[in-house]
Amino acid sequence: MSLAEAAAAIVAAGRRMDRMGWVPATAGNLSVRLGPGDVAITRSGGHKGFLAAADVIRVDLAGRPLDPGTKPSYETLLHCGIYRRFADAGAVLHGHSVAATVLSRRAGDAIRLAGYELLKAFPGGPTHDAATDLPVLDNDQDIPRLQAALEARWDAAPDAPPGYVIRGHGVYVWGSGMDQAMARLEALEFMLLCHLEEGRHTR
């Protein structure tokens, strides 16, 4: 994929996520794999609902900018960790929804999602009669340490879903391309919102 094509996909996804209320202020970041060793990702500090092609920059798989004078988000390293770990990951989306933030603050080390029709958006969920444990990681400003914690979780549970939540922070989801990543994000956010609503009405 060319940088221009990746930027167009990222701009469109950012506007979609903004309309849904998942990237308030300058929250979130979005990326697309360009090739074996480089990634297109939103630059630091931009509002995702008002992105332009110039707001998308290139980095290598260690998170280093490939274009002079550009500054990626520090969380770029988490995107790169996904691309290094999962060869089939072609796009990564990170948002900060109310449901993900509130539920992760209450959760243990996972949020169990069960019986939802939209579990079919994830591997291993051909019907609604399924369950998955969405990993929850403690927030940490030391991104390499957070990435190491993620790697340990993935090693322990290789069948974990293609997504996780950072406690009190937001969700990461990935797919083979932007369309699949967005479908998974929408499915996950719907299930998290249902989970949050159920909790409100059963207290």
Helical (H) or strand (E) element with 129: none
Question: Which of 8, 188, 6, 14 lies closest to 104 in space, CA to CA?
Answer: 188
pLDDT value at residue 137: 95
Residue 203 above 70 pLDDT? no
Q: Give 122's pLDDT tier (boundaries 50, 70, 90).
A: confident
pLDDT in tens, 24-75: 998 899 999 999 999 999 988 889 999 999 999 999 999 999 988 888 888 9
Res 128: pLDDT = 61
Tell me the pLDDT band of 201, cut-offs 50, 70 and 90: low
Structure confidence at residue 125 (pLDDT)? 58
Average pLDDT, the chain: 91
H or E segment and range at residue 199: helix 178-201
For residue 152, the one-letter residue type is A
Residue with tokens 């959760």: 107
Q: Indicate the pTM of the whole model.
A: 0.93
Give the whole-number percent of the chain exceeding pLDDT 70.
96
Confirm whether residue 195 is marked as ligand binding: no
CATH class, range 3-201: alpha beta
CA angle 160–165–168, rounded 5-degree value: 155
pLDDT tens across 78-117, in order?
999 999 999 999 999 999 999 999 999 999 999 998 888 8
Among the listed residues 45, 75, 81, 43, the one whose alpha carbon sits nearest the alpha carbon of residue 62: 81
Average pLDDT over residues 112-125: 83
